[in-house]
Structure 1
Amino acid sequence: MSKKVVVVGGGIIGLCSAYYLQKEGCEVTVVDKTNMDEGASYVNAGYITPSHFISLAAPGMINKGIKWMFNSSSPLYVKPRLDLEFFKWALSFKKSATQAKVQKSISVIKDINLFSRDLYEDIKQSGDFNFHFERKGLLMCYKSDEVGEEEWEIGQQGIKVGLGVKNLTSKEVNELEPNANLDVKGAVYYDCDAHMTPSDFMKEMTAYLKSTGVTFLTNEEVQDIEVVNNIVTKVITHKQILSSDEVVLAAGSWSPLVTKKIGIKIPVQAGKGYRINVKRETGITYPAILCEAKVAVTPMDGFTRFAGTMELGGINHYINPKRVEAISKAAKNYYKGLEINEQEKEQAKCGLRPCSPDGLPYIGKSSKCANLTIATGHAMMGWSLGPATGKLVSETVLGKNTSIDLQPFSPDRKF
């Protein structure tokens, strides 16, 4: 049954939701507060990551966060501040960071990532798109034996759940990347991962959706949602009032500001990430994560992207030069002879990744609102999980059996 649907948010999750909804014959309107040319969906590493099956809320992260709190150039930086919502989120994160909960979520995270990767391939093969997509896997590069052992322990868990994983020596890494001059002790290689150029996909998907009749309301901010008897009756922007049968909330880090207005609490904190683009030849052909520095490196369409850091400091787009410099130093430290110049650093961008306390996104409906589907909280897996989330959203909106069990992703789950 065709429905009239308003999608709040024009990032990767919103666009993929619109894609699958229009495929089902729905009349779709996408509303976004920006011009849809910036933010987390444009500055991410472009990874599709079945390899990232360990939740962000893992044992030991609390101690690392405290250790790094006073170092603004650390891989994870928690800006000290008096914020009740952040305190509640941090408490829920601590409750979630147990070995038992992490183990329970491994298959959940792996399965939705594999599902999403297959959907990306389906979209690519549909004949309607020409975006950059490569499945070359991912190198988890390490410089110390201690980190190498930690990464291989995770890799062995990956093997147990059916992923292809190898522990490569320094020589084997450099045979894969003969022109990159990698200075590492080794790397754990996952053959299951893929990578893309995010801006290419976003532009192509937007153009495709417009060509199929999807309406876009850009530079239009949702200020309120009116709910009567657990039903959204109006979506109110600063320009107009929108009515629909169903509403999809895919507003990333801003989603809690909307749900709060209707009495639904979804704990989300904005995790700021940075990227530097190098449009010179680097010799890098394989995506890699520089483990000690937590920096992602991606060979994209016409440039190499260096991305990373997680900064929990509220909703803001301030570019901290220390964090940009940390990414630059990591590149030089792992790739001999690679210098990111001042102009490239000055053009660094950031985006806000919506982080849930347990490392799982929110996908589905709350019991408090019958026609609102929530899709947010994907943290660093937003790009990876775009199509899977969009498909699950469309199935939820249309009352179909979902391709994956949504219970672990429930917006009503307790921490």
Structure 2
Amino acid sequence: MNKNVIIIGAGIIGLSTAYYLVKEGHQVSIIDKSNFSSGASYVNAGYITPSHFIPLAAPGMINKGIKWMFNPTSPFYIKPRLNADFLNWTWAFKKSATASKVEKAIPVIKAINLLSRDLYEDIKESNTFNFHYERKGLLMCYQSDKVGEAEWKIGKRGIEEGLGVKNLTKKEVDVLEPNANLNIKGAIYFDSDAHMTPTDFMPEMVKFLKTKGVIFYANEDVKDIEVTNRTVSKIITNKQKLKADEVVLAAGSWSPLLTKKLGLQIPIQAGKGYRINVNRETGITIPAILCEAKVAVTPMQGFTRFAGTMEMAGINHNINPMRVQTIANAAKNYYTNLNITVAEKRSADCGLRPCSPDGLPYIGKSSKCNNLTIATGHAMMGWSLGPATGKLVSEIISEKKTTLDLSSFNPDRRF
């Protein structure tokens, strides 16, 4: 049975969900507080990352977080604050950061990443879109032996998981990247990864969805959600009231503001990430993570993007110049003769990534509301997991057997 579906949120998760719902014959509307041209989906590193199978909530991250808490230029910065949601999230993160829970998460994260990569390639091969997509793998570049050993340990685990991984010397990296002038000791290379230019893909998807009859409500803020007999009966925005058979919540870091109205406890904290675009030749052709600095480098269509940091300081889009400078310093440190200009730093932007305590997204229906599907909490893998999440949500709403087991993504899970 075809349904009338409203999606709250027009990031990569929301648009991907609309794409697969339309393919199933549903009527779709999308509400977003923006004009469909900004947000985390436009400023991310554009990675599709089967290599990133270790969740953020891993053993040792608590100690690192405490150490970095007092350093606003650190890769993972948590602003301490007396806020109940933040404190509850932190406690849940601590309980999730165990070796046994990470072991359970690894195959789950790997599987959904591989599914999403295959779906991106299906979309590309459909010849319906014109967007940049390359599968050149990912270099985990390191400057110290200690970090190199730690990255190779993850790489060997990747091999156990069936991924293609190599431990490359500096000379071997230079063969792959002869014009990048990398200042490193070596790199762990994952051949499983791909990359894109988000600002190519997002407008293409919006354009396509409009041709398929999807209704876009731009610059609308959802003020309230009415529930009658455990069913969402009305969505109230700053402009109108809407009804639907099914509702998808894909509002990213803003999702908890809406779930609270429904009495749902879905812990999410916004993790701010920054990006700098360099619109000139850099010689960089393969995506890389600068390991010690935790900075992502992506050769996109016509420019190179440097992205990084995880700043948990609530919902805001304030640009911290120190964090921008930290990314610029990393670029100069790892790529000889690459200096990011003052103008490039001034044009830096940021986005908010919705982080769950255990590093797994929330995908599925809550037991408290029978026509609401949650699709959020993807943290740094939002771009990577867009199509997979969209397909899974479409299968849920279409009442089909889901491609993946969704138990690990249950929105009602407890920490």
TM-score, normalised to structure 2, is: 1.00
Specify the SS of the correspondent of 1:205. helix
Distance 1:256 1:69 in 2: 24
- Give the letter for the 2:138 counterpart: L
Shift of residue 121, structure 1, vs aligned partner: 0.3
Query: What residue number does 2:239 align with?
Result: 239
Greater alpha carbon shift after TM alignment, 139-148 vs 75-84: 75-84
Query: What residue number does 1:78 align with?
Result: 78
1:248 aligns with 2:248: yes
- Give the letter for the 1:31 counterpart: I
Distance 1:353 1:215 in 2: 25
Percent sequence identity over matched residues? 72
Distance 1:262 1:180 in 2: 51
Alignment map for 1:94-173 (pairs within 5 Å): 94-173=94-173
- Give the letter for the 2:253 counterpart: S
Shift of residue 336, structure 1, vs aligned partner: 0.3
Distance 2:408 2:389 in 1: 13
1:408 aligns with 2:408: yes
Shift of residue 39, structure 1, vs aligned partner: 1.1
Distance 1:242 1:125 in 2: 36
Distance 2:22 2:69 in 1: 45
Shift of residue 398, structure 1, vs aligned partner: 1.3
Query: What residue number does 1:274 align with?
Result: 274
Shift of residue 48, structure 1, vs aligned partner: 0.1
1:296 aligns with 2:291: no
Alignment map for 1:335-346 (pairs within 5 Å): 335-346=335-346
Shift of residue 82, structure 1, vs aligned partner: 1.5
Distance 2:144 2:36 in 1: 41
Query: What residue number does 1:35 align with?
Result: 35
What do the CA deviations read for 1:108-142 (whole angstroms, capped 9, x no partner)?
Answer: 00000000000000001111101000000000000
1:311 aligns with 2:317: no
- Give the letter for the 1:249 counterpart: L
Shift of residue 271, structure 1, vs aligned partner: 0.0
Query: What residue number does 1:323 align with?
Result: 323
Distance 2:309 2:369 in 1: 35
Distance 1:267 1:220 in 2: 24
- Give the letter for the 2:51 counterpart: S
Distance 1:280 1:237 in 2: 42
Shift of residue 310, structure 1, vs aligned partner: 0.1
- Give the letter for the 2:389 counterpart: T
Query: What residue number does 1:204 align with?
Result: 204
- Give the letter for the 1:93 counterpart: F
- Give the letter for the 2:260 counterpart: K
Distance 2:273 2:18 in 1: 25
Alignment map for 1:313-392 (pairs within 5 Å): 313-392=313-392
Shift of residue 36, structure 1, vs aligned partner: 1.5
What do the CA deviations read for 1:254-279 (whole angstroms, capped 9, x no partner)?
Answer: 00100100101100000000000000
Distance 2:89 2:309 in 1: 19
Shift of residue 413, structure 1, vs aligned partner: 0.4
Distance 2:62 2:408 in 1: 23
Alignment map for 1:165-204 (pairs within 5 Å): 165-204=165-204
Shift of residue 81, structure 1, vs aligned partner: 1.5
Specify every segment of 5 or more residues in structure 1 that has no aligned partner in the other structure, as ranges: none
Specify the SS of the correspondent of 2:7. strand
Distance 2:399 2:222 in 1: 26
Shift of residue 211, structure 1, vs aligned partner: 0.8
Specify the SS of the correspondent of 1:306. strand
Distance 2:341 2:71 in 1: 23
- Give the letter for the 1:191 counterpart: D
Distance 1:43 1:64 in 2: 26
Specify the SS of the correspondent of 1:283. coil
Distance 2:143 2:39 in 1: 31
Specify the SS of the correspondent of 1:62. helix
Shift of residue 85, structure 1, vs aligned partner: 0.6
Distance 2:23 2:242 in 1: 22
Specify the SS of the correspondent of 1:85. helix
- Give the letter for the 2:298 counterpart: T
Shift of residue 19, structure 1, vs aligned partner: 0.4
What do the CA deviations read for 1:350-389 (whole angstroms, capped 9, x no partner)?
Answer: 0000000000000000000000000000000000000000
Structure 1 stretches of at least 4 aligned residues deviating more than 2 Å after TM superposition: none
Distance 1:107 1:80 in 2: 32
Shift of residue 159, structure 1, vs aligned partner: 0.2
What do the CA deviations read for 1:47-67 (whole angstroms, capped 9, x no partner)?
Answer: 000000001000000000010
Distance 1:252 1:310 in 2: 15
Query: What residue number does 1:221 align with?
Result: 221
TM-score, normalised to structure 1, is: 1.00
